[in-house]
Amino acid sequence: MARTVKRAFKFRFYPSDVQAEQLSRTFGCVRLVYNMALQARTEAWTQRQERIGYHATSALLTGWKKTADLAFLNDVSCVPLQQALRHLQTAYVNFWAKRARHPHFKSRKRSRRSAEYTASAFRWRDGRLTLAKMTEPLDIVWSRPLPQGCTPSTATVSQDAAGRWFVSLLCDDVIAQTPAAGTVGIDAGLDSLLTLSTGEKITNPRHEHADRQRLAGAQRDLARKQKGSANQAKARINLARIHARIADRRRDHLHKLTTRLVRENQTIVIEDLAVSNMVRNHRLARAISDAAWRQFRTLLEYKTVWHGRDLIVVDRWLPSTRLCSACGAITQKMSLHVREWTCPCGSRHDRDVNAARNILAAGLAVTACGDDVRPQRGTSRTGQSSAKQEHPRATKGIPIL
Indicate which residues carry an active-site annotation.
187, 271, 352
CA pair distance 117, 153, nearest whole angstrom: 9
Sign of CA dihedral 260, 261, 264, 266: negative
Q: Is the CB of residue 41 less than 8 Å from the CB of residue 35?
A: no
385 phi and psi angles, rounded to 5 deg: -85, 140
The radius of gyration computed from the CA coordinates of the chain, to the nearest angstrom, equals: 26
Cα angle for residues 261, 265, 270 (degrees, 5° grid): 65
Contacts of 175 by beta carbon, 8 Å cutoff, 6+ apart: 2, 3, 4, 5, 306, 307
HEC string for the chain: CEEEEEEEEEEEECCCHHHHHHHHHHHHHHHHHHHHHHHHHHHHHHHHCCCCCHHHHHHHHHHHHCCCCCHHHHHCCHHHHHHHHHHHHHHHHHHHCCCCCCCCCCCCCCCCEEEEEEHHHEEEECCEEEECCCCCCCCEECCCCCCCCCCCCEEEEEECCCCCEEEEEEEEEEEECCCCCEEEEEEECCCEEEEECCCCEEECCCHHHHCHHHHHHHHHHHHHCCCCCHHHHHHHHHHHHHHHHHHHHHHHHHHHHHHHHHHHEEEEEEECCCHHHHCCCCCCHHHHHHHCHHHHHHHHHHHHHHCCCEEEEECCCCCCCCECCCCCCECCCCCCCCCEEECCCCCEEEHHHHHHHHHHHHHHHHHHHCCCCCCCHHHHHHCCCCCCCCCHHHHCCCCCC
